[in-house]
Amino acid sequence: METETKAGRFAGFGGQYLPETLMNEINRMAAAYEEAKDDADFQADFRTLLADYANRPSLLYFAENMTKDLGGAQIYFKREDLNHTGAHKINNVIGQALLAKKMGKTRLIAETGAGQHGVATATIAALFGMECEIFMGKEDTDRQRLNVYRMELLGAKVHAVTSGSMVLKDAINAALQDFAARPDDTFYVMGSATGPHPYPTMVKDFQSVISEESKAQLQDQIGQLPDYVVACVGGGSNAIGSFAHYLAEPSVHLVGVEAAGKGVDTNLTAATIEKGRLGVFHGMKSLFLQNEAGQINPVYSISAGLDYPGIGPEHAALAMEKRAEYVGITDDEAVAAFEYIAKQEGIIAAIESCHAVAYVQKLAPTLPKDQVIVCTFSGRGDKDVAAIAKYRGVEINE
């Protein structure tokens, strides 16, 4: 039995679609977050940890080589790859873990696909001395054994989820079930700007530090707003954080880059805005890749971090309202961008982020030289090196 409420709507997307057993706890969380948002101590703790533990502010770097090479717009990178644990995920986890503490919770749980969000959650649980259990599809635990071990080193227990197709969507279901069964001591740390209210709003707020910084840094460096902000989109947390402080600046074009996998015209894709249809899943109304009967389709991308069959509700709304544009980049294009950016700028970027880079490679040459693009580097690419080698048919003996 699921009930529907009006909270957390984005132009008809979003909301809360949950069994009764979870609704109470999610509403307690929403109320606690409302309070925390205006609580000076909570915000000060959040800022202090971002600075002293996560290494913020992250750099805004002028990519001079790439700008010269492409011969068009000036390109800047927002370097979330330089954060502790190597991606933007830590921003959100610090915020949610602080809220958990404020609510008196002692146990953090989370879903993870490739393992990035699981590692970030296990990291903060270790720092806060909290219990931590991570739900990960069995398929993913087999593919990402190094990250499983990393989480275990950090003191977390990793559950290999064997229901459904044993991937990310099944791990989210398992985490929601665990949360419903143990609401008293447990807080579910959601990894993206997805799920029932208050997650999409809360995750956006925690990640909006990305655009708060980039706006001030660009102003400082060249005294203007960007003309384009480009970020990759899985569930949409780094993108919504990259967009947040520009939403009210109509001159700034916002571009979300989805993983087209083998191509949007194939079934091996994760391009939700382009190929998805309206549905309700994981507690929210949004766009999902689904078949005629409304069953969630398997998704595919070379990048495990973009491999989600839905998208956060605010992105669905921004796409519908045409405030942001969403484009697809294929595996081939992303891998080429991975190699390009390593050689041009000496940065090994996450394959997820390279979807955004690949789009910038197309966009920049079409723009005049006085235009400015800010591209979010959501994470670092050490984790992807073996997969890229395999894609190129290079054998690496470990």
Ligand X SMILES: *Cc1c(COP(=O)(O)O)cnc(C)c1O
CA atoms lying within 13 Å on the CB side of residue 299: 30
Q: Which of 8, 235, 261, 276 binds ligand X (CB under 6 A)?
A: 235
Which one of the spans 98-106, 153-161, 237-245, 356-364 is the region binding ligand X (CB under 6 A)? 237-245
Examine residue 352 and tell whether it contacts ligand X (CB under 6 A). Answer: yes
Q: Which of 22, 347, 350, 354 binds ligand X (CB under 6 A)?
A: 350
**Complex with ligand X: residue 23 or 254, whichever CB lies closer:** 254
Question: Which tokens in the block code for residue 137?
Answer: 């599809």
Examine residue 58 and tell whether it contacts ligand X (CB under 6 A). Answer: no
Please, what is the minimum distance in Å from the beta carbon of residue 244 to ligand X?
13
Closest residue to bound ligand X by CB: 379
**Complex with ligand X: residue 180 or 210, whichever CB lies closer:** 210
Count, residues near ligand X per rule CB under 6 A: 19
Distance CA 124, CA 111 (A): 15
Report 302-321 residues binding ligand X (CB under 6 A).
305-306
Please, what is the minimum distance in Å from the beta carbon of residue 96 to ligand X?
13
Give the chain's length. Answer: 398
Examine residue 89 and tell whether it contacts ligand X (CB under 6 A). Answer: yes
Please, what is the minimum distance in Å from the beta carbon of residue 261 to ligand X?
15
What distances in angstroms separate CA 358 from CA 124, 310, 338, 364, one per listed residue? Answer: 32, 22, 8, 10
Examine residue 192 and tell whether it contacts ligand X (CB under 6 A). Answer: yes
Which one of the spans 19-27, 175-183, 211-219, 234-242 is the region binding ligand X (CB under 6 A)? 234-242
Q: Which residues of 233-257 are buried (b: 16+ CB within 10 A; e: fewer)?
A: bbbbbbbbbbbbbbbeeeebbbbbb
Please, what is the minimum distance in Å from the beta carbon of residue 65 to ligand X?
22
**Complex with ligand X: residue 144 or 353, whichever CB lies closer:** 353
Which one of the spans 4-12, 232-240, 287-295, 390-398 is the region binding ligand X (CB under 6 A)? 232-240
Report 239-268 residues binding ligand X (CB under 6 A).
239
What distances in angstroms separate CA 49 from CA 35, 43, 96, 131, one per listed residue? Answer: 19, 10, 12, 19
Burial class (CB in 10 A: 0-12, 13-18, 19+), 393: exposed
Which one of the spans 98-106, 281-289, 317-325, 349-357 is the region binding ligand X (CB under 6 A)? 349-357
**Complex with ligand X: residue 305 or 328, whichever CB lies closer:** 305
**Complex with ligand X: residue 96 or 378, whichever CB lies closer:** 378
Which one of the spans 166-174, 229-237, 316-324, 387-395 is the region binding ligand X (CB under 6 A)? 229-237
- Interacting residues of 362 by C-beta distance below 8 A, sequence separation 6+: none
Q: Which residues are catalytic?
A: 89, 111, 378
List contacts with ligand X (CB under 6 A).
87, 89, 116, 192, 232-239, 305-306, 350, 352-353, 378-379
